[in-house]
Structure 1
Amino acid sequence: MRTPRPIPVAAPVALCGLAASLLLGGCTALARQSGDGGAQPAQVAAENARQATVTTEWGPLGPADRALIVKVREAGLWEIPVGREAARRAARPATQRNLAEIARQHERLDELARGIAAQLNVPLPDRPTAEQQSWMSEIGGKSGTEYDKTAVARLRVAHGQIYPQIAAVRASTRNTLVRQFAKQCETFVHTHMTLLEGTGFVTVDALPDPPAVTGAPEPGSPNQRRTPAPAATSVIRD
């Protein structure tokens, strides 16, 4: 059965904007008064707290920073059990081996997330999100190669979604602890994507649509071959 195509991921064009839209879910300000049908004062206060930047000894800690730590924790809560199960149930040895390795690496990532959360006083969840739980149920309901395809597809899409989010935080955070954490996450996620692609189940149907971009060059004519561009050092003027 073909896995439903995921919602396309936004292009990582403007990093700060990406952090706001992807990490924080594109939240809109809740500044309206309750009298005109807007948010209640308690909701406004709660949202203001979620958007707050606090001072730490390692630098400012913003909402995008906290969201990344939580997302890494949530990823481990569903990818560890899926990887462990795949080590037993997957039809192909490559799927068994690679997903088991992803689970092992997520144990280390979870250790890192718990450590930085304790230092920065960030509360962490103890259960996967409702969406992640639905993925686990979907994967668990398959058998044979359909099990492999579904597990790999769901994991690959999830890694493709968090990859630009990590890059956005890595590029914009003012907190030195979070910057180091994002750098470590970047290495892990890159490895996980490679492991998933190594199963042979990452096909066109398992990937989101390419992001929309502006300012892309027009495609070259198939009937006209271009000579290689000159070296940058030969065209730069001193």
Structure 2
Amino acid sequence: MPLSRNTMGTLFVGGALSLTLAALAYPSMLGLDTVSTSTDRVIANTQWGPLTEGDRDFVVKVRAAGLWEYPVGQIGLQKGQSKSVLTASEHLIDGHAALDTTCRKIAPMLNITLPNVASPQQEGFVTQLKAESGKQFDVTFANILRLTHGSIFNTVAKVRSTTKNSLVRALADQANDTVLDHITVMEKTGLVDFDSTLFQQTTPPKLPKSDLTPPAPPAGQPQVVLTPPPTATATPVDLGDAVNGQPQQ
């Protein structure tokens, strides 16, 4: 039976952050809140094309997404009650390991510092799922992940259609395929409340920047690596064209 909007709003309350579905819908929680409103402002001219604030923030968002969705996939493999949730968990781990490899390849090329932990909001969500079990875990898992992937889907498309940086464009291509795949496997669980999810996607709340921004890694801290599973089918993007060719304009 589909959950009511009010029911969905209470599913994710727990822990010090008092998480709610509405709060978790906000797209900025997937990474770094921009440092200014001028996302098209060029911050560096590289051999792969100009790098804008929006480009930089996108790379960080993709990295931050993996830092919480990858462990959520691992939790799903342990707690998932249905075959479809177990399959969705495998897709999270596989897809974000490959995306993370691409992020870690292009970040130093573009002089972008990547976080090693997700934002406080994202970390709180992981804590919330760790505390749930049984059928409730499956419902919470499917709905919040369909919501967050749906929220970022349009952002990926916008970056892909506007960036002049070929490395960022390559990452956006991979992210587009991965996010669409994750949306699809969440829907296949049969647990998604579309009315509530779509309502939350179109009415994101304003949240404190401190909840949305992953902390910068301490100097000298080894970079966290999201290890591909032994059965990985997703692969990092081939950067050959972007690296060896001229940036596409």
Structure-1-length-normalised TM-score? 0.69
Matched, 1:117 2:118: no
Q: Is the 8 A contact 1:135 1:154 kept in 2?
A: no
Instruction: Structure 2: state its 5+ residue gaps.
Output: 10-20, 204-249
Residue of structure 2 in register with 1:6 after alignment: 22
- Native 8 Å contact 1:3 1:206 kept in 2: yes
Code of the aligned partner of 1:150: T
The CA distance in 2 between the partners of 1:25 and 1:58, in whole Å, is 22
Pair 1:201–1:155, CA change in 2 (3 A): same
Contact kept, 8 Å, 1:7 with 1:208, in 2: the verdict is no
**Equivalent residue for 2:69?**
79
The answer for the alignment partner of 1:222 in structure 2 is none
CA contact (8 A) 1:156 1:206 kept: no
Aligned position for 2:85: 95
Equivalent residues of 1:99, 1:195 under 8 A apart: no
Partners in 1 of 2:103 and 2:24 — Cα distance? 27
Residue of structure 2 in register with 1:190 after alignment: 180
Matching residue of 2:52: 62
Higher relative CO (CA 8 A, sep ≥ 6), structure 1 or 2? 2
**Stretches of structure 1 lacking an aligned partner (at least 5 in a row):** 11-17, 30-47, 213-238
SS in 2 for 1:54: strand
Compute the TM-score of the two structures, normalised by the length of structure 2.
Answer: 0.66
What secondary structure sits across from 1:55 in the alignment? strand
The one-letter amino acid of 1:79's match is E
- Structure 1 vs Structure 2: percent identity of aligned residues? 32
How much has 1:27 moved relative to structure 2? 4.3
- 1:207 equivalent in alignment to 2:212: no
Distance 1:206 1:152, change over 3 A: farther
User: For the Cα contact (< 8 Å) 1:69–1:113, is it kept in 2?
Assistant: yes
Give the drift of 1:23: 7.6
Matched residue type, 1:159: H
Distance in structure 2 (CA, Å) of the matches to 1:133 and 1:185: 21
Q: In structure 2, how many angstroms separate the alpha carbons of the residues matched to 1:80 and 1:206?
A: 25
**Regions of 4+ moved over 3 Å:** 7-10, 22-29
**How far apart are 1:3 and its partner, in Å?**
3.0
| Pair 127,108 (structure 1): closer, same or farther in 2 beyond 3 Å | same
Matched, 1:139 2:129: yes
Cα distance in 2 for partners of 1:111, 1:147 equals 29
Q: What's the CA shift for 1:28?
A: 5.3
Deviation at 1:6, TM superposition (A): 2.1
Superimposed CA distance per residue, residues 33-73 of structure 1 (whole angstroms, 9 cap, x where no aligned partner): xxxxxxxxxxxxxxx9x965210001100010011110010
- Match for 1:72: what amino acid? V
SS in structure 1 opposite 2:22? Answer: coil
Larger radius of gyration: 1
C-alpha RMSD of the superposition: 3.0
Q: Is the 8 A contact 1:152 1:196 kept in 2?
A: yes
- Which residue matches 1:181? 171
Alignment partner of 1:53 out of 30, 43, 46: 43
Query: Secondary structure of the residue that 1:53 maps to in structure 2?
Result: strand
AA in 2 matched with 1:161: S
**Structure 2 Cα separation of the partners of residues 9 and 101 of structure 1:** 21
